[in-house]
Amino acid sequence: MHYLDHAATTPVPPAVAEEMVRVLTGDFGNPSAQYAAGRAAKERLARDRAVIAGALGAKPEQVFFTSCGTEGDNWAIRAALHQNRHLGRHIITTAVEHSAVLQCLKALEGEGYTVTYLKPDREGRITAEQVAEALREDTALVSMMLVNNETGAIFPVAEVAGLLKNRKTLLHTDAVQGFLKIPFTARSLGADFIAISAHKVGGPKGIGALYMGGKARNPRPLLYGGGQESGLRPGTEATAQIAGFAKAVALRQEDLEEKLRHMARCRDYAREKLSAIPDLRFVGPGEAPHILALSLPGYPSQNIVSDLDTRGICISAGSACHRGKASHVFTAMGLDKRTAAGTVRISFGPETTFDDIDALAQALAEHRASRFPML
């Protein structure tokens, strides 16, 4: 198999799975229990939290475990709006956010909030100036992703944080595609809420984390129940998933700079190889080292994905979360119908090889040569 969909999910290294099994079968105590096995689980949980906080450049007490990036995004947005409930009911976001943010904001519009959706240029970029122009006295929250999951565009989150430094307006960023993919710390980014997910960096599905710092104060609990996660996200902690998350982060941090350079080399090599295919065009800036979007105008992306699947090549038609629906990202960018409908995403990881990319280039060339445009 040639796996080129690391932005959808990543392979789990054996060491991560082994660590999870160790917790599931041996260190399985409840961290809230008062006996030795419970105390050991609590200590293990603290060590794992410290690993993930360290990767963010944050304090352990600023990191709260969630079930996924979607939960983190929703919690952050709701917590920010609760904190600023007396400031106003205006929100700024981009038209190309992940559905985890956009669907949450659509629900909030139904509750009386006003949302300004910033449109990208034709390359998929958003500027801090757009945010500055949209700011109002009653703006309670700005929500801007760090790396777009379909185009690889890197958004100016740190610049926006600078704009908001002397305002009460809070800043949330979905950093799921940025965590351990581009260099940043919580301090350098400046966001008040940062959502991340384990399965994008070699960890298990079903676990993520939310950083709450900066101007975030007395955040509203996500759920109500026991006292876990400082009383903000009650429920028995998923200790095995958390252990897998921490192990994956520790492994990814080993020679991280070289891993990032390798992914960037794969991206650049893919550009070179795929440029030889007639009519193929690249979509978006592809600034992040692990994401590259491209289009065969007139050739439906779902057909491309299905054909390559029969050849053992895994890519996606935009975000894996779309499940075949038209991408709101490419629509917002103003792409013509033929280009948008023919756009696919390839994404790389530390395990990607040039052989994977060679196989992709050959398969795409053969797909185009053996079929007539349908759009």
**In this predicted model, what pLDDT tens digit does every residue of 313-358 receive, in sequence order?**
999 996 544 555 679 999 999 999 999 999 999 999 999 999 999 9
Distances (CA, A) of 14 to 7, 204, 241, 247, 301: 20, 11, 14, 11, 33
pLDDT, residue 199, reads: 98
The predicted-structure confidence for 118-142, as pLDDT tens digits, reads as follows 999 999 999 999 999 999 999 999 9
Dihedral in degrees, nearest 10, Cα atoms 181, 122, 69, 75: 130
Residue 155 has pLDDT above 90, yes or no: yes
CATH of 14-253, one of 3.40.640.10, 2.40.10.10, 2.40.37.10, 2.60.120.10: 3.40.640.10
The predicted-structure confidence for 22-66, as pLDDT tens digits, reads as follows 999 999 999 999 999 999 999 999 999 999 999 999 999 999 999
Distances (CA, A) of 225 to 230, 231, 234, 244: 11, 8, 5, 25
What does the H/E/C string look like for the chain?
CEECECCCCCCCCHHHHHHHHHHHHCCCCCCCCCCHHHHHHHHHHHHHHHHHHHHHCCCHHHEEEECCHHHHHHHHHHHHHHHCCCCCCEEEEECCCCHHHHHHHHHHHCCCCEEEEECCCCCCCCCHHHHHHHCCCCEEEEECCCECCCCCCECCHHHHHHHCCCCCCEEEEECCCCCCCCCCCHHHHCCCEEEEEHHHCCCCCCCEEEEECCCCCCCCCCCCCCCCHHHCCCCCCCHHHHHHHHHHHHHHHCCHHHHHHHHHHHHHHHHHHHCCCCCCEEECCCCCCCEEEEECCCCCHHHHHHHHHHCCEECECCCHHHCCCCCHHHHHCCCCHHHHHCEEEEECCCCCCHHHHHHHHHHHHHHHHHCCCCC
pLDDT greater at residue 220 or residue 325: 220
Average pLDDT over residues 12-23: 98
Q: At what angle do helices 99-109 and 69-83 cross, to 10 degrees?
A: 40
pLDDT, residue 368, reads: 95
Residue 148 has which token pair? Answer: 């777009």
Average pLDDT over residues 159-184: 98
- At 172, the pLDDT band (50, 70, 90 cuts) reads very high
- The least confident of 99-103, 228-232, 295-299 is 228-232
| Whether domain 2-9+255-370 has CATH 3.90.1150.10 | yes
Distances (CA, A) of 65 to 138, 198, 369: 30, 10, 48
- The Cα–Cα gap between 269 and 264 comes to 8
pTM of the model: 0.96
Q: Residues for the chain: how many in total?
A: 375
The predicted-structure confidence for 276-317, as pLDDT tens digits, reads as follows 999 999 999 999 999 999 999 999 999 999 999 999 999 999
pLDDT, residue 214, reads: 87
The domains spanning 2-9+255-370 and 14-253 adopt the same CATH topology: no
266 given a catalytic annotation: no
> Contact 4/273 with Cβ under 8 angstroms?
no
Residue that has been written with the tokens 């419970």 in this structure: 38
pLDDT, residue 324, reads: 52
Percent of the chain with pLDDT over 90: 93
- The Cα–Cα gap between 150 and 126 comes to 14
Residue 70 has which token pair? Answer: 């979607």
- The Cα–Cα gap between 298 and 371 comes to 10
Residue 374 has pLDDT above 80, yes or no: no
Average pLDDT over residues 223-245: 94
Question: Which of 68, 266, 314, 321 does the annotation list as catalytic?
Answer: 321
Percent of the chain with pLDDT over 70: 98
Which amino acid would we find at residue 309? D
Residue 96 has pLDDT above 70, yes or no: yes
- At 371, the pLDDT band (50, 70, 90 cuts) reads confident
The phi and psi torsions of 328 (rounded to 5 degrees) equal -70, -25
- The Cα–Cα gap between 338 and 332 comes to 15
Residue 169 has which token pair? Answer: 């307006």
Single out the residue of 245, 243, 182, 240 nearest to residue 208, CA to CA.
245
Where in the chain are the domains?
2-9+255-370, 14-253
- The least confident of 43-47, 158-162, 215-219 is 215-219
